[in-house]
Amino acid sequence: MIEIRFHGRGGQGSVTSAELLALAAIGEEKYAQAFPSFGPERRGAPVVAFCRISDQPIRIRANIYEPDIVVVLDPTLLKIVNVAAGLKPSGIVVTTSKDSPEMVRETLGIKNHIAVVDAIKIAMEVLGLPITNTAMLGSLIRAADLVKRESFISPLKERFGRIAEKNIAAFERAYQDTVLT
């Protein structure tokens, strides 16, 4: 089982990201679950969402405390939230940042693999809004072979309707632009 924890701010699409990833996995006949963890947060407050993907039924229903992958949708969280807390030694951090993966690794004080993409820039150029969720999914899939890229097409079309093509474009561009270490 692969466990992914998403860190973002209210309104950026962390919960939607987890849900879309689970739907893409289910579309490949895998087992998946996605759920948020937040209280009375408001737009802009830090939020966390989770996703599990497995080839076997998933029986656990708890938050993810030792993720295989951490996805960060807002670069300001890197300095105010311990996003790498509990990250497995073989784990990966996937984040939006203008900094290099090496600089992000130094900021976090970890030795794990890092994947970086400027998802905010991509979102602004493609969507016209700083909502990074679909771009970060593209970066995540580049960094970790969880599901096939094409498995996102149907969930993105269902979720975003008439603006699905823009979200697919943001996903694809982030997939191409991600820098890995």
Residue with structure tokens 């807390």? 85
The model's pTM is 0.94
The two tokens of residue 117 are 């993409």
Residue 10 has pLDDT above 90, yes or no: no
Number of neighbouring beta carbons within 10 Å of residue 61:
8
**Of 34-38, 168-172, 175-179, the least confident:** 34-38
Domains of the chain: 2-180 (3.40.920.10)
Please, which pLDDT band fits residue 45 given cuts at 50, 70 and 90? confident
Confidence (pLDDT) at 40: 58
For 143, residues 6+ apart whose C-beta sits below 8 A from its C-beta are 69, 92, 94, 113, 115, 178, 180
